Copies of this chain bind each other. A is one copy, B any other.
Amino acid sequence: MNKIEISPKEGLLTLPGFPVILVCIGNNILTVAAFSFFSFDPPMVMIGIVPNRYSFSLMKERKSKDFSVNIPSRNQLKHVKFCGSKSGRTVNKFKETGLTPQKATQITSSLIKECPVSLECEVVHTIQLENTTHVWFVGKIVKAHKREDYDRMQPMLYWPQEYRKIGEVIKE
């Protein structure tokens, strides 16, 4: 079957989904699907934030440029949706969700106690291109925490308008 031409925007929407995470900047929680690894060694990840968001101004204002990556499990979807739809400008998301802020060891941003994985990240680089929608913060993982019963099926994928399960390993 031949392919048909679609718009660049529709092209972007064909992508199957990226891991969705909860990020803390200071004591605010944001839902992030603009998330990727950046480097294996040293281990680094990156998160993309839209500049008109509260989280962006928080990052800019804070003396310590750091964030935590918290991988939610599927049963935390309601918190993921809540934190993705409300602004920290008007809502204390820890309080509203009942999630528990946990003190990190190497960074000043909180960790989320109930998430099965938390990564402490120090911002080492910012990527901000003119006339694009996201600013990307590259963070070096300086400390990591995992529940012993965590498995990589628990998280979720997100891509516009839908959350998906992670599928099983493909065996051959």
Give residues in A with beta carbon < 8 Å to B.
1-12, 14-19, 34-46, 48, 71, 74, 77, 116-119, 124-125, 127, 129, 131-134, 136, 138, 140-150, 152-157, 159, 162-170, 172
Contact = CB atoms under 8 A, between A and B. Distances in A.
22 contacts: A4-B147, A8-B42, A8-B140, A8-B142, A8-B143, A8-B144, A10-B144, A11-B146, A14-B150, A14-B152, A15-B45, A15-B152, A16-B152, A16-B153, A16-B166, A39-B134, A41-B133, A42-B131, A129-B138, A157-B166, A162-B169, A165-B168
B12 A36 contact: no
B148 A1 contact: yes
A159 B5 CA distance: 30
Contacts of A16: 19, 71, 152-155, 157, 166
Copies in the complex: 2
Contact of A6 (B40, B146, B159): B146
